[in-house]
Amino acid sequence: MRRLWGICLGLLALWSGLSAASRASEGPVYVVAVEGMVDKVLVQYIGRAIQEAEAADAAAIVFHIDTFGGLVTAADQIRQHILDTPLPTIAFIDKNAASAGALIAYACDRIVMAPGASMGAATVVEGTTGEAAPDKYQSYMRGLMRATAEANGRDPRIAEAMVDPDVAIEGVVPAGKVLTLSAQEALRLGVADAIAASIDEVLQVLGYGPHPIVAFAQTGTERVLRVLASPVLQTLFLLMMLGGLYFELQTPGVGLSGLIALAGALLFFAPNYLSGLVEFWEVLLFLVGVGLLLVELLVIPGFGIAGIAGILFMLVGLLAALIGNIGLSFPSAQQIARAIATLVSALVLVGISAVVLGRYIPRTRRFQELVLGSGLSRTQGYTAAATDKQQLVGKQGQAITPLRPAGMVEIEGKRYDVVSSGQFVAPGTPVEVVRVQGRRIEVRPLPRKIA
């Protein structure tokens, strides 16, 4: 009986589709790709596509779906865009419509699947671990799937079974399993209206005549954002940010390392924020940390509370960005522990890279071609009296720039680049040379004489 009911629903839906197609305008058919992760960039792209199709009085919009899912909030926004448009909408599931992809397909007036395609498995999961999210998220997704199925005259129980393993349907899915339908099963149960192998065949099956086809493309900015948000590049940007920050803290001022760290931070946060994977407060927390660190390095002498607080703010901001939270609602302790392990692993990798680069790169042939080697020795007849600074040990002078700890002093009318022995030295402070190692001149401040 249930099988017969499913066949009747399928025939009724197909007849409705043919009737709608016969009443459709003579405008073009828009084909909109729904591929990769469902995120906020995809929301903007689909919103633009629907607006342009409506302005062109399109005959229909075909959503070419091949996705394993993504953000529930983004999928809900796409669902609303599709339900709100007056144009006929068709979901063509080419390979996969899993999770958020199933919700998007259910929002369309008609669903057509390619041979071998699948649809379902819409359980909400946390982050990239695949673990089921708490029941409040599952309840929200069940409600979305049920309401969307009802809006287009489909069986809401089948839609709920794609989310909740406790929903059992006799002859379809037993309790304890989440429903995923093949193309033939979806057709038999009335979820899919037809099976077709291509866009042209989809239009032919649904009764659309020789309409021109418009393949709606993403903008260059949208493509770049989705590429930059890939896990491989995001790992590289994280290492750029942490590595650049580490090397910048080893040298005074703001140089190449600081610019690399800034570029890494921008490339890490911007795509994730625009894609909806990072919250605004997480970015703000990181920026506050950067600000405190800059104040410590450029304004306040030494390294104290502001610097430590800045580093902590930055690490907490990064950690929050790596956690799949929604607003201030965080996942399980196990998920947080994984994010901490990821951040610690990145920090350890940066430390190892710093040691390797510092020890081995100066020995490479390419590096030796860029710097002056040890070939100009005194035994070969070369002299450089100006670089022999051992005679400066014990001599006194005056700081002419702040030493943070590097800076410049004047000794016997000559200026030298020096470093202080750990503390901040203000301009005009008397100093004494305590050690010379190669080109490194170390000084200590002397107490000012009282007149």
Do 51 and 106 lie in one domain? The reply is yes
- Residue 231: the pLDDT is 63
Same domain, 213 and 233: no
181 and 36 inside one domain:
yes
The whole-number pLDDT of residue 300 equals 66
Residue 448: predicted pLDDT: 67
Domain boundary among 189, 218, 247: 218
Is residue 38 in a domain? yes
Sign of the torsion angle spanned by Cα atoms 44, 47, 53, 56:
negative
Beta bridge partners of 173: 169
CATH code, domain carrying 208: 3.90.226.10
The verdict on 309 and 268 lying in the same domain is yes
What's residue 259's pLDDT?
A: 79
Which domain covers residue 195, as residue numbers?
A: 2-218
Residues 52 and 126 in one domain: yes
**Number of folded domains that form the chain:** 3
Higher model confidence: residue 374 or residue 117? 117
Residue 377 falls inside a structural domain: no
Residue 237 lies in a domain: yes
Most confident of 79-83, 236-240, 334-338, 402-406: 79-83
CB-based burial, 245-274: b 16+ in 10 Å, e otherwise: bbbbbeebeeeebbebbbebbebbbbbbbb
Do 188 and 314 lie in one domain? The reply is: no
More confident residue, 308 or 13: 308
The answer to whether residue 376 is domain-embedded is no
State the CATH number of the domain containing residue 400: 2.40.50.140
> What share of the chain has pLDDT > 90, as a percent?
27
The pLDDT value recorded for residue 73 is 80
pLDDT of residue 18: 44
Q: Give the pLDDT confidence of 269-325 residue by residue, as tens digits.
A: 777 776 666 677 777 887 888 777 777 766 665 556 777 787 788 777 777 776 655
Distance (Å, whole) CA 12 – CA 18: 10
Q: Specify burial of residue 242 (Cβ count, 10 A radius: 0-12, 13-18, 19+).
A: buried
Assigned domain for 367 exists:
no
Could you tell me the pLDDT band of residue 209, with boundaries at 50, 70 and 90? confident
Between 125 and 105, residue with greater pLDDT: 105
Supply the pLDDT for residue 32.
95
pLDDT of res. 62: 96
Residue 318 confidence (pLDDT):
73
pLDDT tens digits along 133-184 = 677 778 888 999 999 999 999 999 999 999 988 888 988 889 889 999 999 9
Q: What is the pLDDT of residues 67-79, one digit of tens each?
A: 988 878 888 989 9
**Both 86 and 192 in a single domain?**
yes
Most confidently predicted of 75-89, 214-228, 358-372, 420-434: 75-89
The answer to whether 389 touches 434, Cβ cutoff 8 Å, is no
Predicted local distance difference test score (pLDDT) of residue 355 = 64
In this structure, what token pair is assigned to residue 368? 């030796």
Q: Do the bridges between strand 125-126 and strand 440-445 make them parallel or antiparallel, or are there none, so unpaired?
A: unpaired
Per-residue pLDDT reduced to its tens digit, 14-30: 444 444 444 456 789 99
CA atoms in the 13 A half-sphere facing the CB of 378: 5
State yes or no: pLDDT of 381 exceeds 60: no
Q: In the listed set 218, 253, 269, which residue is the last one of a domain according to the structure? A: 218
Bridge partners (DSSP) of residue 442 are 419, 435
- Choice between 169 and 356, residue whose per-residue pLDDT is larger: 169
pLDDT tens profile 32-49:
999 988 877 888 889 999
Say how many residues make up the chain: 451
Query: Locate tokens 């099956």: which residue?
Result: 205
257 within a domain of the structure (yes/no):
yes
91-119 pLDDT, tens digit per residue, is 999 989 998 999 999 999 999 999 999 99
For the chain, the maximum distance between any two Cα atoms, rounded to a whole number of angstroms, is 109
What pLDDT does residue 250 have? 61
Residues 33 and 88 in one domain: yes
Question: Which residues, including other chains, have CB under 8 Å from residue 94's CB and lie 6 or more apart?
Answer: 64, 65, 66, 114, 117
Both 47 and 79 in one domain: the answer is yes
Residue 114 neighbours by CB under 8 Å, 6+ apart:
92, 93, 94, 95, 183, 195, 196, 197
**Is 368 within the bounds of a domain?**
no
Would you say residue 371 lies in a domain?
Answer: no
Whole-structure pTM value: 0.60
For the cut 60, the answer to whether the pLDDT of residue 8 exceeds it is no
Q: Which has the higher per-residue pLDDT, 255 or 59?
A: 59
Residues 408 and 353 in one domain: no
Q: Which of 218, 234, 252 is the last residue of a domain?
A: 218
**pLDDT band at residue 342, thresholds of 50, 70 and 90?**
low
pLDDT in tens, 51-69: 999 999 999 999 999 998 8
For residues 104 and 258, give the distance between their C-alpha atoms in angstroms, rounded to a whole number.
Answer: 43
In whole angstroms, what is the distance from residue 285 CA to residue 293 CA?
A: 13
Distance of CA 360 to the CA centre of its chain: 33
Confidence (pLDDT) at 113: 95
Q: What is the pLDDT of residue 428?
A: 86
Cα gap 320→318, rounded to integer Å: 5
Mean pLDDT of the chain: 78
Residue 235 and residue 205 share a domain: no
Q: What's the confidence (pLDDT) of residue 10?
A: 47
pLDDT-derived band at 386 (thresholds 50, 70, 90) equals very low
CB 286 within 8 A of CB 313: yes
Residue 229 shares a structural domain with residue 197: no
**Residue 81 pLDDT more than 90?**
yes
Distance CA(425)–CA(407), nearest Å, equals 9
pLDDT at 161: 92
